[in-house]
Amino acid sequence: IDRVVKLIRGAKGTDVVLTVIPADAPSEATMQEVRITRDEVVIEAASAKLEVREIGDRKVAVLDVPSFYQDVRRVGREYEVVRSTAADVEKLLAELGPNGADAVLVDLRTNGGGALSQAIELTGLFIDKGPVVQVQSQRGPGRTREVLNDEVRGVAWSGPVAVLTSAYSASASEIFAVVLQDYGRGLIIGGEATHGKGTVQELVGLSPMIARFGGDASRDAGAFKYTTSQFYRITGKSTQRVGVVPDVVVPSPFDGLDGREGDLDNALPYDEIAPARFTPAASSAADLPDLRARSAKRVASSNAFQMMAELRETRDKLDGAPTSLDLNERKQEQSVWDTLEEKAEAAGLDGEQDVVLDEAIQVIVDWSKQSSGGK
């Protein structure tokens, strides 16, 4: 597929001719040519989006951030950013306005990370200057530590903010979520913990190295990725292996699945460094025990969350169990899953209703009522 992509890519405005076999062709001998003009492709599905949800007299702006992206374009010898997560979110918040919602919920459940600079800039939309993350590198015989800051004064949103996370929230997502938690600026809601990736990697092309030793530099030899640094919270703690633990835990379909950083064979251990100097935000603290109790009560009475727990129990029971080659036993096992899928669909876990997001919004509504004296 990489070779095909390279052939299709080219200068904007130029044509490329594709020889294709239609899906309904009677045989592979039936081919046709398709001429397309190359142009810039903007994938909107990967961009930040905002939707306002109304619950009673409260409005919650749900900000979906699928990744920390930063698209650059070469202009002469320089590169300029043409689109980025922080810029898109800042625009969305400006359109929302200070009175457009009672709170903002940043949804990072499927955000696996991206550009570290964008995590820092996005944090800057909610805090007024200060350290965001610490990076420690192994360079030569010693270690170097660097504190990366938000240098821009002012915020784009000064109201209540919460972050929704899952085990698939990783790297830059964890940096953004945990710095709001450490500043006391935001409420973290989500599954048991985030992914737990506290390392930084670099990608190095192998072709220049091959050329250095007399090899063919024109051959695409691929690349290798290696770990160069670790990042730490401004408190000096790490997210490595442990992830970010939410203030209010809402059960997630991703809880208990393998694939988190700590599940890897050679994951680096957790450690800590000295904290950075920072001033906590002057925002009203949430009554966490009350929020947790209210959420737990709703979850316990929800058919959807009960079904989610049953699915996890069945998954854990079958995970690692020997796979039978007996046809009747396999049919019986499949029958169990078919029944569970039917029950899950009846309980509202068919993908049309996002019960985790709905519960997170309810938590924010409770938080908003706390701030207004229960009104």
- Catalytic option among 182, 229, 295, 366: 182
Determine the Cα–Cα distance for residues 107 and 222; give it in Å rounded to an integer.
34
Q: How high is the pLDDT of residue 360?
A: 98
Q: What is the pLDDT of residue 93?
A: 98
Among residues 102, 197, 295, 366, the one annotated as catalytic is 197
Q: What is the mean pLDDT of the chain?
A: 89
C-alpha pair distances (Å), 374 with each of 105, 256, 299, 336 = 20, 35, 21, 45
C-alpha span between 257 and 273 (Å, rounded): 30
Respond yes or no: is residue 169 known to be catalytic.
no
- Which domains does the chain show, CATH number per domain? 1-41 (no CATH), 43-285 (3.90.226.10)
Model confidence at 215: pLDDT above 80? no
Cα dihedral 120/124/129/130 (nearest 10): -40
Catalytic residue, candidates 67, 166, 171, 252: 171
Rounded to an integer, what is the distance from CA 340 to the centroid of its chain?
28
Could you tell me how many residues make up the chain?
Answer: 375
Q: Is the pLDDT of residue 17 over 80?
A: yes
Q: Tell me if residue 150 is catalytic.
A: no
Under the banding of pLDDT at 50, 70 and 90, the label for residue 43 is low
The tens digit of pLDDT for each residue in 124-156 reads: 999 999 999 999 997 666 789 999 999 999 999
- Strand-pairing partners, residue 74, are 79
The answer to which of 85-89, 167-171, 221-225, 328-332 has the lowest mean pLDDT is 221-225
Cα angle 242-125-286, degrees, rounded to a multiple of 5: 60
The SS3 of residue 110 is coil
* pLDDT at site 21: 86
Which pair of structure tokens corresponds to residue 332?
A: 């019986």
pTM of the complete model: 0.83
Residue 91: active-site member: no
Quick: pLDDT tens for 253-264: 889 888 899 999
pLDDT digits (tens, 9 = 90+) for 333-349: 888 888 878 877 776 67
What gap in Å lies between CA 179 and CA 184, rounded to an integer?
8
Q: In what order do the strands lie in the sheet with 223-232?
A: 142-150, 130-139, 223-232, 199-205
44: confidence class by pLDDT, cuts 50, 70, 90: low
